[in-house]
């Protein structure tokens, strides 16, 4: 029998306790040893909970108990999660986390600490919730050179864009609905709607895919606040859906390109059919080709199931998992990750007439729509620099670019 300690008893932490309690036999078979929760660390009062005897309000009893072999961190955020995780690793415990911010910011160092102490640091649930992505990338695609990774990795914004397309809702209406259903934070939804959550996730996937830490702050991110029902309608006119896409790819030799942005996704593309709170990640490899991982990107039990799977792997594999699960530190001095690839690009303007803008933009832009001081153009095969130049010319003509949507490459 081995003990597991859970740090944080919110949605995911309580789900981990529930799975380890209800599916004890299954977990023991997968881990190769009986597993039970020995401690739950949370500063709140759970005296009425059926597991009240397991609760402690600080990490010290956990670090002092040699029977604790795995620590599960579900606190979220950087602090005190980082300090607790580091202490657990340095005391010789494996750590499993669902904390995307922690992995994206501190994963490089924590994996190095884990390996130095003969333990492991696992984080399957940090991307995709209950959908397996991390494990398959570092294990099952080991014979492949990964060329790119892209997908829909934020369930909240995907739900909102689905409702905007299916019900004609505005951004504000879709956000209110997402908040009412518990998909979006009521106080501050910016991590979701501004692309912050997605850029942490693509930073993790890019680091794993290309073997070098991609700092999340280096990833350009643009959320969906500027997306309007008119954008959604124009996308449909072009045979596309609007999706918030997180992507990363190899650029020039030694260069990684990555971003998070709302994009036009062709209806023939599998990603266009990923709706509601579901996630999908497509990994393109040199030998296997395209592989798509699809499933629920959030939720108590889906996310907790990925955490518990990591607990079993930690007990089976220990530090050996880091023979394939690792990445090197970032380049000294950092790097700029903005993309350079050409793409058909939708530009929506306000403040000037279509004829005036057409003259300013030149013949490469096709007028798609105009109405009461607003208009939209499609620029074919436009490089990012071309788009910026077009926006500057439009501004000189008295127009403001309200939104740009690039076409996701096939």
Predicted pLDDT of residue 339: 78
Integer angstrom CA distances of residue 191 from 100, 165, 316: 12, 22, 35
What is the pLDDT tens value at each position of the chain, 410 positions in all?
889 999 999 999 999 999 999 999 999 999 999 999 999 999 999 999 999 999 999 999 999 999 999 999 999 999 999 999 999 999 999 999 999 999 999 999 999 999 999 999 999 999 998 899 999 999 999 999 999 999 999 999 999 999 999 999 999 999 999 999 999 999 999 999 999 999 999 999 999 999 999 999 999 999 999 999 999 999 999 999 999 999 999 887 778 999 999 999 999 999 999 999 999 999 999 999 999 999 988 889 999 999 999 999 999 999 999 999 999 998 766 665 777 889 999 999 999 888 888 888 877 789 999 998 899 999 999 999 999 999 999 999 899 999 999 999 87
Buried residues in 22-44 as b, exposed as e (16+ CB within 10 A)? eeeeebbebbeeebebbbbbbee
Query: What tokens does 135 get?
Result: 């494990």
What pLDDT was estimated at residue 299? Answer: 85
The partner residues of 294 in beta bridges, in order of sequence, read 280
Domain 2-130+301-323 has CATH 3.30.930.10: no
Confirm if 311 and 4 have CB atoms less than 8 A apart: yes
201 counts as catalytic? yes
Q: What is the pLDDT of residue 336?
A: 58
**d(Cα 207, Cα 274) in Å, to the nearest integer?**
24
Hey, what are 228's tokens? Answer: 């309007």
- 222 burial class (0-12, 13-18, 19+ CB within 10 angstroms)? middle
Yes or no: say if 183 and 87 are a contact pair by the CB < 8 Å rule. Answer: no
Distance CA 37, CA 67 (A): 11
Give residue 359's pLDDT.
85
Domains of the chain, residue spans? 2-130+301-323, 135-296, 343-407
> What pLDDT does residue 353 have?
86
Q: Where are the alpha helices (DSSP H) in 249-397?
A: 300-317, 354-361, 384-396
Tallying the residues shown for the chain, one arrives at 410
What confidence score (pLDDT) does residue 103 get? 98
Residue 340 pLDDT: 81
For residues 137 and 208, the answer to whether their CB atoms sit within 8 Å is yes
DSSP bridge partners of 375: 349, 370
Strand partners, 365: 379
CA distances from 390 to 21, 235, 236, 350, 358 (A): 59, 20, 24, 14, 10
Torsion angle of C-alpha atoms 407, 286, 279, 334, degrees rounded to 10: -80
What does the pLDDT read at residue 352?
87
State the CATH class of domain 343-407.
alpha beta
Neighbours of 182 (CB within 10 A): 10
How far, in Å, are 6, 147, 148, 210, 372 from residue 251 at the CA level?
41, 9, 10, 11, 41
Rounded distance, CA 299 to CA 296, Å? 8
C-alpha pair distances (Å), 322 with each of 28, 116, 198, 272? 23, 11, 25, 35
Give the tokens for residue 392.
């500057």
Strand 374-382, strand 121-122: pairing: unpaired
Question: How many CB atoms sit inside 10 A of residue 295's CB?
Answer: 16
Q: What is the pLDDT of residue 334?
A: 61
At residue 331, the pLDDT reads 77
Please give the CATH architecture assigned to the domain spanning 135-296. 2-Layer Sandwich (3.30)
Q: Which of 201, 243, 300, 396 is catalytic?
A: 201
- Whole-number pLDDT of residue 175: 98
């Amino acid at each position: 029998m081995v003990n597991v300690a859970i740090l944080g008893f919110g949605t995911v932490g309580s789900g981990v306790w529930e799975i380890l309690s209800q599916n004890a036999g299954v977990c023991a078979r997968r881990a190769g040893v009986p597993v039970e929760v020995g401690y739950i660390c949370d500063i709140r009062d759970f005296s009425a909970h059926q597991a009240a005897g397991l609760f402690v309000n600080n990490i010290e009893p956990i670090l002092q108990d040699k029977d604790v072999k795995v620590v599960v961190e579900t606190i979220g955020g950087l602090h005190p999660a980082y300090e607790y995780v580091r202490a657990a690793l340095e005391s010789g415990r494996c750590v499993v986390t669902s904390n995307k911010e922690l992995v994206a910011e501190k994963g490089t160092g924590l994996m190095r600490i884990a390996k130095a102490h003969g333990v492991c640091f696992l984080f399957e649930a940090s991307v995709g919730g209950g959908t397996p992505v991390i494990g398959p990338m570092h294990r099952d695609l080991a014979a492949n050179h990964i060329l790119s990774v892209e997908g829909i990795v934020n369930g909240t914004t995907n739900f909102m864009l689905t409702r905007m397309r299916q019900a004609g809702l505005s951004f504000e209406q879709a956000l209110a609905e997402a908040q009412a259903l518990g998909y979006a934070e009521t106080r501050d939804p910016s991590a979701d709607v501004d692309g912050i959550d997605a850029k942490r996730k693509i930073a993790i996937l890019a680091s794993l895919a290309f073997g070098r830490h991609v700092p999340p702050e280096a990833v350009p991110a643009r959320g969906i606040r500027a997306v309007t029902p008119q954008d959604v309608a124009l996308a449909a006119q072009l045979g596309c859906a609007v999706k918030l896409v997180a992507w990363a790819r190899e650029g020039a030799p030694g260069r990684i390109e990555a971003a998070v942005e709302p994009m036009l996704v062709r209806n023939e593309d599998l990603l266009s059919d990923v709706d509601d709170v579901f996630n999908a990640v497509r990994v393109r490899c040199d030998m296997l080709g395209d592989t798509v991982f699809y499933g629920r990107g959030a939720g108590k039990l889906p996310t907790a199931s990925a955490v518990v799977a990591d607990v079993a792997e930690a007990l089976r594999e220990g530090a050996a998992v880091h023979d394939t699960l690792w990445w090197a530190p970032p380049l000294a001095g950092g790097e700029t990750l903005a993309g350079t690839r050409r793409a058909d690009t939708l530009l929506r303007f306000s403040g000037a007439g279509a004829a005036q803008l057409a003259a300013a933009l030149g013949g490469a832009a096709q007028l798609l729509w105009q109405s009461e001081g607003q208009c939209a153009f499609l620029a074919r095969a436009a490089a990012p620099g071309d788009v910026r130049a077009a926006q500057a010319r439009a501004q000189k003509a008295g127009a403001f670019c309200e939104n740009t949507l690039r076409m996701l490459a096939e």
